[in-house]
Structure 1
Amino acid sequence: MRIAQTTYSTKPRGGVVHTLALAEALAARGHQVTVWTLGRGGDDAFFRPVDPAVEVRVVPFAARDDESVGDRIERSIQTMTAAFDPSGYDVVHAQDCISANAVGPCVRTVHHLDEFTTPRLVECHERAITDPIARLCVSRAVAQEVHDGYGLRPTVIPNGVDSARFARAAGPDGADARTRWRTELGDYVLALGGIEPRKGSIDLLEAFALLCADHPDLRLVLGGGETLFDYRPYRARFDQRCAELGIDPIVLGTLADDDVPALVAAAAVLGFVSTKEGFGLAAMEALAAGVPVVARDLPVTREVFGDAVVYASDVPQIAAALAAALDGAGQDGAAGRELAARHSWTAAAAAHERFYEHVVRAGGDDGQQIDLTDRERARRRSSPAHRG
């Protein structure tokens, strides 16, 4: 099949990581895959090298300092629409709200549901769910939210994870890189994804402050954070609480892709206290590296991680769970590594392939979940209609 994967950014956000890994796994299965994206801030390539088997098309997108979030999103849609030609593809797969609004009839993966207050962004968000010809989610929990809100039943294909990459970072070959991070940062609690409301950053900060009496040398490290949205008011509240609590976190910002596995593997614990997630790729990567994870107690985290992480619902519980992890209690590292290893991009690509076959044949999913089992695929192939 000729497949276009579309995403809104070249930066290392979860949906972009998903887009590239899926594209490479589909190309490895023999498909012709092109990834389309917007080159924000002068970018002409993604945050990491992409397998040469995947074609990359970066559409220039100039920055404008005086632009509101809504104007930036609308201009993003218009820019992608003007550049993208769907005629050369059997499947167009949009991985976010912006590209789903830009590329015409498409498959859409709803990674999570956002909450907007301005009418035009609410409309943009809803069109990106209702207008596609077929829908996917990476967890049953998010698929249920889509059904509850829109009466649609997306098909669920869980994320993959490059578990071998993070396992190597935790092994003998990664020892020097881990030592460099620990020399620079000391012992640290790590959070990835930046400082923003959805990541629960202030809750994690408050919980970390409760640990300091018993762990005075422990540091709080935050990495990542590239986003389209304006979280400056939240960041100001975060900085204010840092001053009030006497906490001086290390904010690394956007990281080089090669630095991430060792940074994760060297952490004492990963704080994954998002208030909303679609799957939890950063937490799955930490488990692959044998690092304990404290996760917000949400339906999606329960679904994806089961007993492999420790759950917490509020600041005192987060602090207690972090303390237990630091003391080596409550998590089975082997179980976490096994869970991560089961989520391969090869399996995810095979499931997407089956989904695409149905969409191409039927013209969409009619708002209903598609059976992707091998048994169903064999039944379709043996049917008189399929044989023609």
Structure 2
Amino acid sequence: AYTAPISLGSPLAVTVHDVSFSRHPEWFRFPERNRRHILTRLTARRAAVVLTVSEFSRSEISALYGLPRDRVRVIPNGLSPRLAQGPVAREPLILYAGSIFNRRRLPDLIAAFAVVLRSVPAAQLVIAGDNRTWPPQDLAAVAAAHGVTGKVALRQYVSDGELAQLYARASVFAYLSEYEGFGLTPLEALAAGVPVVLLDTPVAREVHGDAGRFVPRGDIEGTAAAIVELLTVRSAALEQLSRATGVLARYSWEAAADRTLAAIEGIAQL
């Protein structure tokens, strides 16, 4: 994905999931952002077709790299059924899973969690993912500053089996990302029967539709209130999950594979 050999002589299809490094270079170290931006832009401009995962990313790629929209084709990700297991006893556990980037605003989630504890003292927060922030964010220090160190578990890596267990235990999945090409783990959470709280962004609404609970960026009290309601009002959680079935049906790896093959076959005639 993103790049291909510059001197490749055959027609090229390339997948570009998002262009955060071009839109927000301040989130990346200087060598990484330059390498990603330059090589992705060169590859995308040379490609016969660029595949991406959302209409949001299609608009970003077209705008930032000067490509006509008809050269950028949207093929959403699929959703693996492996994590959609039967629930065990739910706990007052709030889960975040995914690589940790600045744009995913984990300090805001920790701050909101501290507010949640006023209403739900038994609540726990599990953050599962490798910390790839730039500038670096020390989440343990953030938790300490809010006085919640003993209630926040930072897990750098979890296996698929451990992640499935976390989805089965969790009562809320929180994903406060301000920039994504797609965002897969909230969909995995919905498939596992976990309601999701999402930052209100165009791509979050595109991908999750009316199955998400959306909160404004930086609204710590509002985020906490949404989490508390889903933890304590079962009907609110069930209502959100009832809307997830139609949303999840949009995402199939078989459909994604068929559409990808059709795109490749289309440029093979060039």
2:57 corresponds in structure 1 to: 142
Partner of 2:73: 155
Between 1:268-277 and 1:324-333, the stretch displaced more is 324-333
Question: Displacement, 1:101?
Answer: 5.0
- Return closer, same or farther for 1:210/1:350 CA change in 2, 3 Å cut-off: same
Which amino acid in the other structure matches residue 264 of structure 2? Y
Instruction: Tell me how many residue pairs correspond in the alignment.
Output: 248
CA contact (8 A) 1:193 1:225 kept: yes
Residue number among 293, 299, 302 corresponding to 2:205 in the alignment = 302
What's the C-alpha RMSD, in Å, of the aligned pairs?
2.2
8 Å contact 1:129–1:135 — kept in the other structure?
Answer: no
Q: Does 2:250 match 1:348?
A: no
Higher CA-based Rg: 1
Q: How does 1:71-86 map to 2 (within 5 A)?
A: none
Higher relative contact order (Cα pairs below 8 Å, separated by 6+ residues): 2
State the shift of 1:149 in Å.
Answer: 1.4
Q: Distance in 2 between matches of 1:239 and 1:119?
A: 27
Indicate the residue corresponding to 2:172 in structure 1: 269
Asked if the contact 1:111/1:278 (under 8 Å) is kept, the reply is: yes
Q: Which residue of 2 aligns with 1:323?
A: 228
Deviation at 1:243, TM superposition (A): 1.2
SS of the aligned residue for 1:305 comes to helix
Counterpart of 1:213 in 2: which secondary structure? helix
Partner of 2:13: 107
Q: Structure 2: 5+ residue runs without aligned partners? A: none
User: Residue in 2 aligned with 1:11?
Assistant: none
CA distance in 2, matches of 1:212, 1:271: 15
- Report the 3-state secondary structure (helix = DSSP H, G, I; strand = E; otherwise coil) of the residue aligned with 2:174: strand
Letter in 1 for 2:57: V
Deviation at 1:109, TM superposition (A): 1.5
1:219 corresponds to 2:124 = yes
2:118 maps to a residue whose letter is A
Question: Offset of 1:341 from its aligned partner?
Answer: 3.2
Give the TM-score of the pair, scaled to structure 2: 0.83
| 1:18-75: CA deviation from partner (whole Å, max 9, x where unpaired) | xxxxxxxxxxxxxxxxxxxxxxxxxxxxxxxxxxxxxxxxxxxxxxxxxxxxxxxxxx
Q: Which residue of 1 aligns with 2:34?
A: 122
Query: Aligned equivalents of 1:336 and 1:187: distance in 2?
Result: 21
Output one character per residue of 1:117-168: Cα deviation in whole Å (capped at 9) or x when no partner. Answer: 5377325423313324121110001111111212212110011001x3233x
Does the CA contact (< 8 Å) of 1:110 and 1:136 recur in 2? yes
Could you say which residue in structure 2 is the equivalent of 1:291?
194
Same amino acid, percent of matched pairs = 33
Aligned to 1:235: 137
The Cα of 1:357 is off from its aligned counterpart by 0.8
Are the counterparts in 2 of residues 189 and 270 from structure 1 also a CA contact under 8 Å? yes
Residue 312 (structure 1) aligned to one of 191, 202, 215: 215
CA distance in 2, matches of 1:299, 1:143: 12
Change (3 A) 1:200 1:360: same
Give the partner amino acid of 1:208: F
Deviations 1:207-239 (A, max 9, x none): 11111111111011011227xx5x375332x33
